[in-house]
Amino acid sequence: MKRILAIMLVLGIMLTSVTAMARAEVFSDISGHWAKSTIEKMADLGIVKGVGDGMFLPDREIKRSEFVVALHKVAEIEINYFKAPDINEFYSDVKNEDWYASPLYDMASLNIVDDRGKFRPNDLITREEMVHYLVNTYKYKLNAVLGDFDGEVGYFDDEESIKEQYKNSVKYAYKLGFVKGRGNGKFVPEGLSTRAEAMIVLEKLMQSLKEDVKDAVEVTPSFVKDKDGYKMTLTIKNSGKNEVVIIHGSGQKYDFVLLDDKKEEVYRWSEGKSFTMILTETHIPSGKTVEFSEVIDAKTYEEISGKVYYFKAMIVGSSEDFEINEDGYYLNLKEEKDNKLEIVPSYEKNEKTFTMKLKLKNTSDKDIIINHTSSQKFDFKLLDENKEIIYTWSADKLFMMMETETVIGAGKTVEFEEELDMESHKDVIGKAKYLKAYIVGTSEDCEIEKDGYEVEITESKENSLLVVPGYEKGEKTFTMKLKLKNASDKDITINHMSGQKFDFKLLDKNKEIIYTWSADKLFMMMETETVIGAGKTVEFEEELDMESHKDVIGKAKYLKAYIVVTSEDCEIEKDGYEVEIK
């Protein structure tokens, strides 16, 4: 038995390694393309392949057959037939040996592709056809019934030119955030979609399907006093329309852990227990709930209660039906402290001095008191690229051994800073890649990190660009904003590879992208530039209609703004500039 388990383990490791090494094609013609990240993601997932010679041809129109095959993969449809399928049951212009025939048969049999007679596989797909197949897939996967719009108008100025059989699909796709117009309020139903555009809408469909599953399964931990001690519970509620299955690698299906204030374990329910080494499953039907619970006896808990800050419940297993948080589901067992302290380390570097800073801002409506066991209230350390300490500010200093305190009034800020002479410390500062700032003391009013607060030291450019993302939410509109302020005394020039100068993305609570402003837009493929004069500000903003985008805006927890693309005058964050939506 042990030998069999060992072989299975080795095979599992080998398979994992092979999977980890598997990578998508590297395309030579998407560098700098607006859809580069999505194309690479879809290629990694096996949704799409290149056209040969390392090329993807992102701006080439996509054929109907190509789109349907990619859509079939996104939908993860697998059907076992009792007899060999014959595509001619549906289409007279397709042969069973055609490379796309099998997935097309699946899609036709499910009525996702509901054309009949001729499929026209080599025709380029139109926007209205593409959207229709997308919405049909959405309805099938979620078992959703989408009613008629009862003649509702106002989505696109050219909606009268949309074929009757596609009108509802186009309107639903717009409401779901799959597509937008192509400018001037027009949808352009007969317009053709490029391979890049197709990847964008397929990614949106994929995210929408995943989001529905995430919302459908609710995992809740609880820790309550029981007659025999404390009851630890993990509740999994399936509010979706399909059964959820969890696969466990052994007889263990769950675990419970108690942690201290540093989130280090002080108790684990499974410790010392043995479980059968066989695959087991937990089935949760639609609308049902499964509950796992164990009791920690009062005596055991009392011995460790002083150390316990957090309770963590874990699902031990995997599922293809919803995303399991491998880190577990937490509860804070200690009462949260009312006072909040915002702690920001920073630095300022010029030709003569390097200034280390630590800002403490009290964002609460009560005073915060920090107690120090000596006259030392703070400290600074410089770290090299390996995060090894190469300088400690307090190392050569003496402090009075007497208790002191720092009081930060409600809404007030206290700042500490120390200046280093560049000439005397040039070797240390030259090697420094990180600054760590420390509060030397304790507080009953707020949490203080004993390991300090770190900031990366980057090479600053001569010109400084202050980039501020923002938003404005009204009853009818949601406006996404990006402000660029030149804080230097020289012009800043930003170079763009196309007519696109900026972008906005909306992210959900898990920081998954649920909306991209540029996704369905076309930009002129010509180099442009934005020049921001000394002391001047440039602002970009885009407005979303609240009614049309209410589902997306309702889920949005973060806004990310992007500058597209580079500048020799300032640093531009490729990962964008984020602001929380409150």
When pLDDT is cut at 50, 70 and 90, the band that residue 153 belongs to is very low
Q: Are 293 and 233 in contact (CB under 8 A)?
A: yes
pLDDT over 60 (residue 271): yes
Higher-scoring residue by pLDDT: 113, 286: 113
Of 87-96, 398-407, 436-445, 560-569, the one with minimum mean pLDDT is: 560-569
pLDDT of residue 215: 62
Q: Look at residue 171 in the predicted model and tell me its pLDDT.
A: 86
DSSP 126-146: BHHHHHHHHHHHHHHHHT---
Q: Residues of the chain with pLDDT > 90: what percent? A: 48
**Predicted local distance difference test score (pLDDT) of residue 481:** 94
> How far, in Å, CA of 11 to CA of 28, rounded?
35
Region 43-57: what's the mean pLDDT? 89
Higher pLDDT among residues 480 and 475, named by residue: 480
> What tens digit of pLDDT does each residue of 497-526 get?
888 899 999 999 888 899 999 888 887 778
* 3-state SS record for 209-249: HHHHHHHHEEEEEEEEEECCEEEEEEEEEECCCCCEEEEEC
276-303 pLDDT tens trace: 999 999 999 888 999 999 999 988 988 8
Per residue in 357-407, pLDDT (tens digit) is: 999 998 888 889 999 999 999 999 999 988 999 999 999 999 999 999 999
**pLDDT > 90? residue 335:** no
Write the pLDDT tens digit of every residue in 527-554. 888 999 888 999 999 999 988 888 889 8
pLDDT at 130 over 50: yes
Q: What is the pLDDT of residue 13?
A: 36
Mean pLDDT, rounded, for 129-136: 93
Per-residue pLDDT at 390: 95
Please write down the long-range contacts of 329-334, taking CB distance under 8 Å and 24 or more positions apart: 329/219, 329/220, 329/221, 329/234, 330/221, 331/221, 331/222, 331/223, 333/223, 333/258, 333/308, 333/309, 334/261, 334/309
Q: Is the pLDDT of residue 134 over 60?
A: yes
Please compute the mean of the pLDDT values over residues 171-191 and round it to a whole number.
83
φ/ψ (deg, to 5) at 137: -65, -45
What pTM was computed for the model? Answer: 0.41
User: Does the pLDDT at position 11 exceed 60?
Assistant: no
* 204-237: pLDDT as tens digits: 988 887 755 556 788 999 998 877 789 999 999 9
Structure tokens belonging to residue 502: 């900026």
- Average of pLDDT values for 244-266? 92
141-151 pLDDT, tens digit per residue, is: 877 666 554 44
Mean pLDDT across the chain: 86
Q: Higher model confidence: residue 88 or residue 212?
A: 88
